[in-house]
């Protein structure tokens, strides 16, 4: 029996494949986050997927969805709209691998990991996201993942705390975090 193959692949809104994948991801348990709305799904411009191929079966096990936000004529910000790993594949490094690839390939063209050209524009100067201070994963109270600490280990820095940002989660505070892609900070993603 052959070992399942893991691959990373960039996808763009223009190629028409995002919506089907995103609809599948919306069925995953993203607790405590609710499924993404159609409006949120439509804002995702590019996506990096992690796929496991085992014989004829091909399963998407992780995704990073990025909305491209123009900041000026020459600069674009990437907003991380979605970072998700299929519950059955969590805690195996897939999220970290995806985030490492995103940071390394933004605006750099061809990358070693995917051997494809990144669809993100060269002028992208930072990645931004919002997260909760702490997030229960897979609905388990005992399995608490501190998302702020996780993103900090990847090089993101807290920009600000937004009181009661997440209304669906008992008015939990949101934390806005940024990763500066113009400096050496992205080298921390190793």
Instruction: For residue 107, give the CATH number of its domain.
Output: 3.40.630.30
pLDDT in tens, 97-122: 998 888 777 644 434 444 445 556 55
Q: List, for residues 140-179, the tens digit of each pLDDT value.
A: 433 445 788 888 888 899 999 888 777 665 667 788 999 8
DSSP letter at 110 equals: B
pLDDT in tens, 34-93: 778 888 888 888 888 999 988 788 889 999 988 888 887 777 888 998 899 998 888 889
Residue 24 confidence class, pLDDT cut points 50, 70, 90: confident
- Residues whose CB falls within 8 Å of the CB of residue 101, separated by 6 or more in sequence, listed in order: 8, 48, 111, 113, 114
CA atoms within 13 A on the CB side of 82: 30
Helix, strand and coil in the chain, % to nearest 5: 25, 40, 35
Note the maximum CA span of the chain. 53
Q: How confident is the model at residue 128 (pLDDT cuts 50, 70, 90)?
A: very high
- For 146, half-sphere exposure in the C-beta direction (CA atoms, 13 angstrom radius) is 5
Tell me the residue range of the domain where 138 lies. 5-188
Quote the number of domains for the chain. 1
Residue 137 has pLDDT above 70, yes or no: no
Q: Identify the CA nearest to 128 among candidates 86, 61, 76, 59.
A: 76
Half-sphere exposure for 87 (CA within 13 Å, toward CB): 14
Nearest by Cα to 137 from 19, 32, 2: 32
């Amino acid at each position: 029996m052959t070992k399942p193959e893991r691959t990373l692949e960039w996808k763009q809104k223009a190629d028409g494949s995002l919506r089907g994948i995103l609809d599948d991801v919306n069925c995953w348990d993203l607790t405590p986050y609710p499924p993404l709305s159609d409006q949120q799904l439509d804002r995702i411009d590019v996506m990096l997927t992690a796929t496991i191929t085992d014989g004829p079966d091909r399963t998407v096990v992780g995704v990073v969805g990025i909305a491209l936000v123009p900041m000026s004529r020459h600069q674009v910000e990437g907003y991380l709209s979605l970072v998700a790993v299929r519950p059955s594949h969590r805690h195996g490094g897939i999220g970290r691998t995806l985030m490492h690839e995103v940071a390394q390939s933004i605006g750099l063209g061809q990358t070693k990991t995917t051997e494809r050209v990144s669809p993100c524009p060269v002028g992208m100067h930072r990645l931004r996201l919002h997260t909760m201070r702490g997030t229960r994963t897979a609905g388990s109270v005992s399995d608490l993942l501190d998302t702020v600490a996780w993103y900090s280990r990847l090089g993101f820095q807290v920009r600000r705390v937004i009181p009661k940002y997440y209304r669906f989660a008992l008015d939990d505070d949101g934390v806005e975090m940024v990763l500066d892609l113009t400096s050496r900070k992205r080298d921390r993603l190793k």
